[in-house]
Amino acid sequence: MFEMNATRLRVWLFTLACLIAAIALPFLAPTYYVQFFAKALIMGMLAMALNLVVGHGGLVSLCHAAFFGLAGYVLALLSPRYDAASLLTTFPLAVLSSAAAGLVIGALALRTRGIYFIMVTLAFGEMLFFFFHDTKVAGGSDGIFINVRPEIAVAGRQLLDLDKPITFYFFVLACLVGVVALLTMVVRSPFGHALAAARDNERRARSLGFPIFRIRLIAFALSGGLAGVAGYLAAAQFGFVAPQMLGWHQSATVLVMVLIGGLRSVTGPLVGALVLIGLEEVLKAHLDNWKLAEGLIIIGIVVMLPNGIRQIWPMIFGSSPEVPVDAGRAEAEHAVAEARHA
Amino acid sequence: MHEIALRAECLQKRFGGLAAVRDVSIDVHVGEIHAVIGPNGAGKSTLINLLSGELFANAGEILLGATNITAFAPDRRARAGLGRAYQKTTIFPKFSVHENVRLAAQARSSAPLRMFGGVQSDTECHRRAADAIGNAGLSGRSQVIADRLSHGEQRQLEIAMVLATDPRIILLDEPLAGMGQSEAREIIALIASLKIGRAVLIVEHDMDAVFELADRLTVMQDGGVIATGLPQEVRTHPAVRAAYLGNYGDVA
């Protein structure tokens, strides 16, 4: 019991240290790195959202970029051309749009299993991609600009302006903390345990009385909504959205972040995103064939740490209570390998 | 006569041109173990799958108590009070014994899909899980990961999970399959204890066990029921003897 508490204390201290470092960053680092880190945190949010269905639900989705991009497009379409959009209306609308898309796509895709599920989600993701690519709804293949970033203003007084890099950074950090808290709560709740039970043995979970389809659909919509949070922030940061944001390349990249971070924890994919994006940044600066080096390093990580980078944690801090071997992992890895080779 | 827990009437299931189950009616009573026997291919497994909802009947009705569950999906039948164990042990192999059974208790709790608050806070679920683990004879093994258990213990675990869902009727599909003598004895004793306050329907090939356990028997052949009744009646039934001994074994 004492050891349990000691482990928990270390986890809390480590989390606190990370949070303090993240809060201190904008006061210590140049703006470029603050923006770079914000971008990495946004991708981390997307990876954590995806992992709710991949790691905890055992459902490998290849359409999460579509939820991500859709929220970005909602912001772009709701933004006035020369004025700031209201954060308080566009943010919930964007997130709800992504969650609704998750609900509709999930309701259809969750009728299939395994590789068929992957293909159906891929097909729906590509449908949304081509919707924005081939129609004039939002600039077609050229994409669309968000000239002024959203703000919170009450009676003409600006309270929060995402145009300021430091404000934007702290808004991203607050969203990140919110997403981590929400996912941690869901994963530890009876709902989260039922979701994991359905992943490990669908037949048994159903015959115990769990409504599998409903559980997975709720998880899928929630995951889509959280991907929308990330998409909204990404669109606000770049001030530009293009169809590539919804494409399967993006989905596959996020899946790689999930895999290198580890499937069985909430924050593993965040670590995976930071590692992958950091790696790209370093390699790009020093190598011409950086993609080749990146691929080799990713293969190395997956081979040496089959449970993800989060596996390093127990090596450093002593054993954590649960490090189960991943059953759904082989399937996920296979999907990623296929997607990357295509 | 005990109260009827489960009643199936004129169930039919066709796979293409094959009638796997033809006009099968069966009553399972509370406080009784009802065994279904018959040669391979008689339709026993199909029947149990029709009752649990993994297959849907082409015709006929299934009543659980007073509720018509014919159109219910398996999860809804489970919530209505029908528990089942599979021929091939079906558990959550990576979870501890306690988590396996706790999940079963959670499925029948008042808020099985609550998203707020950890699972630790539901003490009622934990208590029911601990009770079921004790009743199935796995006390002291609750922290073991399920796939480390022996074959017999996994059977006990599966029964503990079914018990934790608080069923009115339990369907057991060949619970003694692939089990050694001593292991089988324990499981037989456990199955015998299940009928108290519940109904049990069992499909089993081990005739010694069947005649030891069953209060009532139904014999199936080629998808239909050829005899049903008390064990001693069924044992001497001419059609049953013909089915088991072949047509030329003239019944005395």
Encoded tokens for B252: 């005395």
Query: Residues of CATH 3.40.50.300 domain(s) within chain B?
Result: 1-81+168-185+192-252
pLDDT value at position B252? 36
- The residue-averaged pLDDT of A188-198 equals 95
Triad B76, B79, B83: Cα angle to 5°: 100
Helix (H, G, I), strand (E, B) or coil at B22: strand
Report phi then psi at A263, rounded to 5.
-85, -20
pLDDT value at position A336? 52
- A91 close to A232: Cβ distance less than 8 angstroms: yes
Fold of B1-81+168-185+192-252: Rossmann fold (3.40.50)
User: Which of B103, B115, B116 lies closest to A208 in CB terms?
Assistant: B103
pLDDT value at position B218? 94
User: Crossing angle of helices A87-109/A212-238, nearest 10°?
Assistant: 140
CB contact under 8 A, A204 and B92: yes
Encoded tokens for B228: 């049903």
Q: Compute CA B52 distance to the chain's CA centroid, rounded to the nearest angstrom.
A: 9
Triad B213, B219, B225: Cα angle to 5°: 145
CB contact under 8 A, B90 and A205: no
pLDDT value at position B22? 92
pLDDT value at position B195? 92
pLDDT bucket at A3, cuts 50 / 70 / 90: low
CB contact under 8 A, B104 and A206: no
- The residue-averaged pLDDT of B79-83 equals 94
Which residues in B lie closer than 8 A to residue A194 (C-beta atoms)? 103, 106-107, 112-113
Q: Compute CA B168 distance to the chain's CA centroid, rounded to the nearest angstrom.
A: 11
Residue of A195, A208, A223 to mutate, interface with B, max B Cβ within 10 Å? A208
pLDDT value at position A321? 43
pLDDT surpassing 80 at residue A194 = yes
| Residue of chain B nearest A209, judged by CA positions | B75
User: How far apart (Å, rounded) are the C-alpha atoms in residues B4 and A55?
Assistant: 44
Please name which of B44, B81, B45, B86 lies closest in space to residue B63, comparing C-alpha atoms. Answer: B81
How far away is chain A from the Cα of B76, in angstroms, using its nearest Cα? Answer: 6
Which residues in A lie closer than 8 A to residue B161 (C-beta atoms)? 204, 208
Please name which of B16, B59, B19 lies closest in space to residue B223, comparing C-alpha atoms. Answer: B19
How far away is chain A from the Cα of B128, in angstroms, using its nearest Cα? Answer: 14
Q: Tokens 């943010």 belong to which residue? A: A91
- B111 close to B178: Cβ distance less than 8 angstroms: no
| Residue of chain B nearest A183, judged by CA positions | B115
- The residue-averaged pLDDT of A219-232 equals 97
pLDDT value at position B237? 86
How far away is chain A from the Cα of B231, in angstroms, using its nearest Cα? Answer: 30
How far away is chain A from the Cα of B67, in angstroms, using its nearest Cα? Answer: 16
pLDDT surpassing 60 at residue A57 = yes
pLDDT surpassing 70 at residue A325 = no
Provide DSSP, B103-125.
HHHHHTSS-TT--SS-GGG-HHH
Helices (H) and strands (E) in chain A, counts: 14, 4
pLDDT surpassing 50 at residue A64 = yes
State whether residue B110 sits within 8 Å of chain A by CB.
Answer: no
| Residue of chain A nearest B74, judged by CA positions | A207
A72: number of Cβ within 10 Å = 31
**b/e per residue A84-123 (b: at least 16 CB within 10 A):** bbbbeebbebbbebbbbbbbebbeebbeeeeeebbebbbe
Over residues B8-56, the pLDDT tens digits come to: 999 999 998 889 999 999 999 999 999 999 888 889 999 999 999 999 9
User: Which of B84, B112, B114 lies closest to A210 in CB terms?
Assistant: B112
Q: Is the dihedral of CA B181, B183, B189, B195 positive or negative?
A: negative
Encoded tokens for A145: 């600009």
ipTM of the shown complex: 0.88
pLDDT bucket at B245, cuts 50 / 70 / 90: low
How far away is chain B from the Cα of A68, in angstroms, using its nearest Cα? Answer: 24
pLDDT bucket at A328, cuts 50 / 70 / 90: very low
Q: Collect all residues with Cβ–Cβ distance below 8 Å to B175 and sequence separation of at least 6.
A: B85, B155, B159, B187, B191, B202, B204
Q: Which of A144-158, B126-140, B207-221 has the lowest mean pLDDT?
A: A144-158
- B4 close to B168: Cβ distance less than 8 angstroms: no
CB contact under 8 A, B106 and A212: no
User: Parallel, antiparallel, or unpaired: how do β-strands B216-221 and B224-229 relate?
Assistant: antiparallel
Over residues A259-308, the pLDDT tens digits come to: 988 888 898 899 999 999 999 999 988 888 888 999 999 888 888 887 77
Residue B164, CA atoms < 13 Å, CB-side half-sphere: 33
Helix (H, G, I), strand (E, B) or coil at A152: strand
- Burial degree of A24 (CB within 10 A; 0-12, 13-18, 19+): exposed
Sheet holding B4-15, edge to edge: B18-29, B4-15, B59-64, B67-68
Size of interface A-B (CB pairs under 8 A): 94
Helix (H, G, I), strand (E, B) or coil at B88: coil
Over residues B55-74, the pLDDT tens digits come to: 999 999 999 999 999 999 99
pLDDT surpassing 70 at residue A314 = no
Q: Collect all residues with Cβ–Cβ distance below 8 Å to B156 and sequence separation of at least 6.
A: B136, B137, B138, B186, B187, B190
CA-derived radius of gyration, chain A: 20
- The residue-averaged pLDDT of B167-184 equals 90
Residue A295, CA atoms < 13 Å, CB-side half-sphere: 8
- A68 close to A241: Cβ distance less than 8 angstroms: no
Give the H/E segment covering residue B158: helix B151-164
pLDDT value at position B241? 81
Residue A115, CA atoms < 13 Å, CB-side half-sphere: 5
pLDDT value at position A219? 97
pLDDT value at position A318? 58
| Residue of chain A nearest B112, judged by CA positions | A190
The rounded mean pLDDT for chain A is 87
Encoded tokens for B98: 């306690």
DSSP B236: T
User: How far apart (Å, rounded) are the C-alpha atoms in residues A70 and A152?
Assistant: 22
